Structure 1
Amino acid sequence: MGRRLRSPNELLRSTSVSEAGEMTANHQQLLAAMESSRRCAEIARTHEQERQAKYYNWKVRNMRTVSAGDRVWMFKPPRRPKASKFVHQWLDPMRVVEPVGYDNFLIEREDVTGEPERHIAHVSFLVMYHQPAASLEQIAVDIEAQLEHEDAVGQRADGTPPTTTAPTTAAPVQTAFAVDVLREHWREADV
Protein backbone atom coordinates (compact mmCIF):
# COMPACT_ATOMS: atom_id res chain seq x y z
CA MET A 1 0.00 0.00 0.00
CA GLY A 2 2.91 2.27 0.08
CA ARG A 3 2.72 3.37 3.68
CA ARG A 4 5.09 2.41 6.40
CA LEU A 5 3.74 1.49 9.79
CA ARG A 6 4.96 3.84 12.52
CA SER A 7 5.29 2.90 16.14
CA PRO A 8 3.54 4.85 18.89
CA ASN A 9 6.87 6.12 20.10
CA GLU A 10 7.48 7.73 16.72
CA LEU A 11 4.02 9.30 16.77
CA LEU A 12 4.56 10.79 20.21
CA ARG A 13 8.03 12.09 19.52
CA SER A 14 7.89 13.24 16.00
CA THR A 15 11.17 14.39 14.62
CA SER A 16 9.60 16.44 11.88
CA VAL A 17 8.58 19.28 14.20
CA SER A 18 9.55 22.65 12.87
CA GLU A 19 9.93 25.85 14.84
CA ALA A 20 6.86 28.09 15.19
CA GLY A 21 7.12 31.10 13.00
CA GLU A 22 4.79 33.77 11.63
CA MET A 23 1.07 33.03 11.45
CA THR A 24 0.10 31.74 8.10
CA ALA A 25 -2.73 33.22 6.10
CA ASN A 26 -4.76 30.08 6.66
CA HIS A 27 -4.35 30.40 10.42
CA GLN A 28 -5.54 34.05 10.34
CA GLN A 29 -8.61 33.05 8.29
CA LEU A 30 -9.41 30.33 10.82
CA LEU A 31 -9.20 32.82 13.71
CA ALA A 32 -11.45 35.31 11.88
CA ALA A 33 -13.99 32.57 11.10
CA MET A 34 -13.92 31.43 14.72
CA GLU A 35 -14.58 35.00 15.96
CA SER A 36 -17.43 35.42 13.48
CA SER A 37 -18.95 32.10 14.59
CA ARG A 38 -18.68 33.16 18.23
CA ARG A 39 -20.56 36.42 17.53
CA CYS A 40 -23.30 34.58 15.61
CA ALA A 41 -23.63 32.01 18.40
CA GLU A 42 -23.93 34.83 20.99
CA ILE A 43 -26.72 36.51 19.00
CA ALA A 44 -28.55 33.19 18.58
CA ARG A 45 -28.17 32.44 22.31
CA THR A 46 -29.60 35.85 23.25
CA HIS A 47 -32.61 35.40 20.94
CA GLU A 48 -33.24 31.90 22.24
CA GLN A 49 -33.10 33.04 25.87
CA GLU A 50 -35.61 35.82 25.15
CA ARG A 51 -37.91 33.34 23.39
CA GLN A 52 -37.71 30.85 26.26
CA ALA A 53 -38.29 33.61 28.84
CA LYS A 54 -41.41 34.70 26.95
CA TYR A 55 -42.91 31.21 27.09
CA TYR A 56 -41.74 30.58 30.66
CA ASN A 57 -43.28 33.83 31.96
CA TRP A 58 -46.45 33.87 29.86
CA LYS A 59 -48.74 33.60 32.91
CA VAL A 60 -46.84 36.09 35.04
CA ARG A 61 -48.29 39.57 35.28
CA ASN A 62 -46.01 42.52 34.98
CA MET A 63 -44.96 43.70 38.39
CA ARG A 64 -46.55 46.97 39.32
CA THR A 65 -44.36 49.68 40.67
CA VAL A 66 -46.14 51.48 43.48
CA SER A 67 -44.53 54.30 45.41
CA ALA A 68 -45.56 56.65 48.20
CA GLY A 69 -48.08 59.25 47.05
CA ASP A 70 -49.59 57.17 44.23
CA ARG A 71 -53.35 56.83 43.97
CA VAL A 72 -54.68 53.28 43.76
CA TRP A 73 -57.87 51.24 43.89
CA MET A 74 -57.80 48.42 46.47
CA PHE A 75 -59.47 45.06 45.91
CA LYS A 76 -61.43 44.01 48.98
CA PRO A 77 -63.84 41.14 48.39
CA PRO A 78 -66.96 41.10 50.58
CA ARG A 79 -66.68 38.78 53.59
CA ARG A 80 -70.01 39.30 55.33
CA PRO A 81 -72.49 36.44 55.67
CA LYS A 82 -75.04 38.06 53.36
CA ALA A 83 -72.58 39.58 50.91
CA SER A 84 -73.55 39.04 47.31
CA LYS A 85 -71.87 39.53 43.99
CA PHE A 86 -73.40 43.01 43.81
CA VAL A 87 -71.34 44.38 46.71
CA HIS A 88 -68.53 46.73 45.72
CA GLN A 89 -65.25 44.85 45.61
CA TRP A 90 -62.96 47.79 44.85
CA LEU A 91 -62.50 50.54 47.42
CA ASP A 92 -62.42 54.16 46.32
CA PRO A 93 -59.20 55.74 45.19
CA MET A 94 -56.75 55.56 48.04
CA ARG A 95 -53.36 57.16 48.54
CA VAL A 96 -50.24 55.08 49.21
CA VAL A 97 -48.63 56.36 52.41
CA GLU A 98 -45.49 54.22 52.60
CA PRO A 99 -44.12 50.77 51.80
CA VAL A 100 -44.12 48.39 54.75
CA GLY A 101 -41.97 45.66 53.19
CA TYR A 102 -42.31 42.53 51.05
CA ASP A 103 -44.50 44.23 48.41
CA ASN A 104 -46.97 45.43 51.07
CA PHE A 105 -48.06 49.06 51.32
CA LEU A 106 -49.81 51.21 53.90
CA ILE A 107 -52.68 53.01 52.16
CA GLU A 108 -55.37 55.35 53.43
CA ARG A 109 -58.76 56.39 52.13
CA GLU A 110 -59.11 59.98 50.99
CA ASP A 111 -62.87 60.40 50.98
CA VAL A 112 -63.55 59.57 54.64
CA THR A 113 -64.43 62.38 57.01
CA GLY A 114 -62.79 62.34 60.41
CA GLU A 115 -60.09 59.76 61.10
CA PRO A 116 -58.85 58.33 57.77
CA GLU A 117 -59.09 54.57 57.34
CA ARG A 118 -55.71 52.91 56.89
CA HIS A 119 -55.12 49.49 55.38
CA ILE A 120 -52.10 47.35 54.65
CA ALA A 121 -52.41 45.68 51.26
CA HIS A 122 -50.20 43.56 49.02
CA VAL A 123 -49.33 44.96 45.61
CA SER A 124 -51.43 42.24 43.95
CA PHE A 125 -54.57 43.82 45.49
CA LEU A 126 -53.78 47.29 44.14
CA VAL A 127 -54.54 48.80 40.75
CA MET A 128 -53.20 52.18 39.67
CA TYR A 129 -55.77 54.98 39.50
CA HIS A 130 -55.42 57.67 36.85
CA GLN A 131 -57.85 60.50 36.17
CA PRO A 132 -57.01 62.37 32.98
CA ALA A 133 -57.32 66.15 33.09
CA ALA A 134 -59.48 66.23 29.95
CA SER A 135 -62.19 64.17 31.63
CA LEU A 136 -62.15 66.53 34.64
CA GLU A 137 -63.02 69.44 32.40
CA GLN A 138 -65.84 67.38 30.87
CA ILE A 139 -67.09 66.48 34.36
CA ALA A 140 -67.10 70.17 35.33
CA VAL A 141 -69.06 71.06 32.19
CA ASP A 142 -71.55 68.25 32.92
CA ILE A 143 -72.02 69.44 36.51
CA GLU A 144 -72.61 72.98 35.31
CA ALA A 145 -75.17 71.81 32.73
CA GLN A 146 -76.91 69.66 35.34
CA LEU A 147 -77.18 72.57 37.79
CA GLU A 148 -78.51 74.90 35.11
CA HIS A 149 -81.06 72.28 34.04
CA GLU A 150 -82.17 71.70 37.64
CA ASP A 151 -82.58 75.43 38.20
CA ALA A 152 -84.61 75.70 34.99
CA VAL A 153 -86.84 72.78 35.95
CA GLY A 154 -87.27 74.11 39.47
CA GLN A 155 -86.09 71.15 41.48
CA ARG A 156 -82.70 69.75 42.41
CA ALA A 157 -81.70 66.11 42.05
CA ASP A 158 -82.15 65.51 45.79
CA GLY A 159 -85.77 66.72 45.60
CA THR A 160 -85.31 70.13 47.22
CA PRO A 161 -86.42 73.25 45.41
CA PRO A 162 -83.68 75.64 44.34
CA THR A 163 -82.98 78.54 46.67
CA THR A 164 -85.26 81.47 45.92
CA THR A 165 -83.26 84.04 47.88
CA ALA A 166 -80.15 83.71 45.72
CA PRO A 167 -80.15 85.25 42.28
CA THR A 168 -80.04 82.96 39.24
CA THR A 169 -76.37 83.79 38.76
CA ALA A 170 -75.55 81.82 41.93
CA ALA A 171 -75.43 78.47 40.11
CA PRO A 172 -72.61 79.44 37.71
CA VAL A 173 -70.64 80.91 40.64
CA GLN A 174 -71.13 77.69 42.62
CA THR A 175 -70.25 75.68 39.55
CA ALA A 176 -67.13 77.73 38.93
CA PHE A 177 -66.14 77.17 42.54
CA ALA A 178 -66.80 73.42 42.19
CA VAL A 179 -64.75 73.34 38.99
CA ASP A 180 -61.86 75.11 40.74
CA VAL A 181 -62.08 72.71 43.68
CA LEU A 182 -62.05 69.71 41.33
CA ARG A 183 -59.10 71.03 39.36
CA GLU A 184 -57.12 71.76 42.53
CA HIS A 185 -57.92 68.32 43.92
CA TRP A 186 -56.71 66.55 40.76
CA ARG A 187 -53.59 68.74 40.50
CA GLU A 188 -52.66 67.58 44.00
CA ALA A 189 -53.39 64.01 42.95
CA ASP A 190 -51.06 64.26 39.94
CA VAL A 191 -48.18 65.64 42.03
Structure 2
Amino acid sequence: HSGTGYSPNELMMGRRLRAPNELLWASGVTQVGVFAEYHRALVRNMATATEAAKKALVKDQLRRATYYDRQVRAHNEFAVGDSVNYETGP
Protein backbone atom coordinates (compact mmCIF):
# COMPACT_ATOMS: atom_id res chain seq x y z
CA HIS A 1 0.00 0.00 0.00
CA SER A 2 2.58 2.54 1.02
CA GLY A 3 4.88 1.80 -1.91
CA THR A 4 2.32 2.06 -4.69
CA GLY A 5 -0.43 4.09 -3.09
CA TYR A 6 -2.94 1.45 -4.19
CA SER A 7 -4.39 -1.60 -2.46
CA PRO A 8 -3.51 -5.03 -3.90
CA ASN A 9 -7.11 -5.37 -5.10
CA GLU A 10 -6.95 -2.08 -6.96
CA LEU A 11 -3.78 -3.18 -8.73
CA MET A 12 -5.11 -6.63 -9.59
CA MET A 13 -8.77 -5.89 -10.38
CA GLY A 14 -8.62 -2.24 -11.33
CA ARG A 15 -11.03 -1.13 -8.61
CA ARG A 16 -11.19 -0.95 -4.86
CA LEU A 17 -13.28 -3.29 -2.75
CA ARG A 18 -16.64 -2.05 -1.56
CA ALA A 19 -17.72 -2.69 2.00
CA PRO A 20 -21.23 -4.03 2.71
CA ASN A 21 -22.32 -0.66 4.10
CA GLU A 22 -21.31 1.00 0.82
CA LEU A 23 -23.42 -1.52 -1.08
CA LEU A 24 -26.37 -0.78 1.21
CA TRP A 25 -26.00 2.95 0.73
CA ALA A 26 -25.80 2.54 -3.05
CA SER A 27 -28.92 0.35 -3.10
CA GLY A 28 -30.89 2.79 -0.95
CA VAL A 29 -31.34 0.61 2.16
CA THR A 30 -32.04 3.02 5.00
CA GLN A 31 -34.32 1.16 7.41
CA VAL A 32 -32.87 -0.76 10.34
CA GLY A 33 -35.07 -3.83 9.78
CA VAL A 34 -33.94 -4.10 6.18
CA PHE A 35 -30.33 -3.73 7.25
CA ALA A 36 -30.68 -6.42 9.93
CA GLU A 37 -32.14 -8.88 7.40
CA TYR A 38 -29.42 -7.98 4.90
CA HIS A 39 -26.77 -8.63 7.56
CA ARG A 40 -28.27 -12.01 8.51
CA ALA A 41 -28.43 -13.05 4.86
CA LEU A 42 -24.86 -11.87 4.28
CA VAL A 43 -23.54 -13.86 7.25
CA ARG A 44 -25.52 -16.92 6.13
CA ASN A 45 -24.23 -16.66 2.56
CA MET A 46 -20.64 -16.18 3.73
CA ALA A 47 -20.89 -19.25 5.96
CA THR A 48 -22.30 -21.29 3.07
CA ALA A 49 -19.52 -20.13 0.76
CA THR A 50 -16.86 -20.89 3.37
CA GLU A 51 -18.23 -24.39 3.92
CA ALA A 52 -18.35 -25.05 0.18
CA ALA A 53 -14.75 -23.84 -0.20
CA LYS A 54 -13.59 -26.11 2.64
CA LYS A 55 -15.28 -29.14 1.06
CA ALA A 56 -13.76 -28.35 -2.33
CA LEU A 57 -10.33 -27.94 -0.75
CA VAL A 58 -10.54 -31.29 1.04
CA LYS A 59 -11.66 -32.99 -2.17
CA ASP A 60 -8.79 -31.41 -4.11
CA GLN A 61 -6.24 -32.34 -1.43
CA LEU A 62 -7.38 -35.98 -1.55
CA ARG A 63 -7.15 -36.01 -5.34
CA ARG A 64 -3.64 -34.55 -5.27
CA ALA A 65 -2.50 -36.93 -2.52
CA THR A 66 -3.77 -39.92 -4.50
CA TYR A 67 -1.94 -38.74 -7.62
CA TYR A 68 1.26 -38.05 -5.67
CA ASP A 69 1.18 -41.42 -3.92
CA ARG A 70 0.61 -43.21 -7.22
CA GLN A 71 3.62 -41.46 -8.79
CA VAL A 72 5.98 -41.90 -5.83
CA ARG A 73 5.19 -45.52 -5.11
CA ALA A 74 5.51 -46.49 -8.77
CA HIS A 75 9.20 -45.55 -8.68
CA ASN A 76 10.18 -46.77 -5.22
CA GLU A 77 9.36 -50.45 -5.21
CA PHE A 78 12.36 -52.71 -4.71
CA ALA A 79 12.67 -56.44 -4.30
CA VAL A 80 15.21 -58.30 -2.22
CA GLY A 81 18.44 -58.52 -4.19
CA ASP A 82 17.77 -55.50 -6.42
CA SER A 83 20.79 -53.34 -7.13
CA VAL A 84 20.30 -49.80 -5.81
CA ASN A 85 22.46 -46.69 -5.77
CA TYR A 86 22.46 -44.33 -2.86
CA GLU A 87 24.51 -41.35 -1.79
CA THR A 88 26.28 -41.03 1.50
CA GLY A 89 27.01 -37.78 3.22
CA PRO A 90 30.21 -35.74 2.62
Q: Normalising by structure 1, what TM-score?
A: 0.24
Q: Which has the higher contact order (CA 8 A, sep 6+)?
A: 1
Largest Rg, 1 or 2: 1
Q: More helix by proportion, 1 or 2?
A: 2
Q: More strand by proportion, 1 or 2?
A: 1
Q: Normalising by structure 2, what TM-score?
A: 0.44
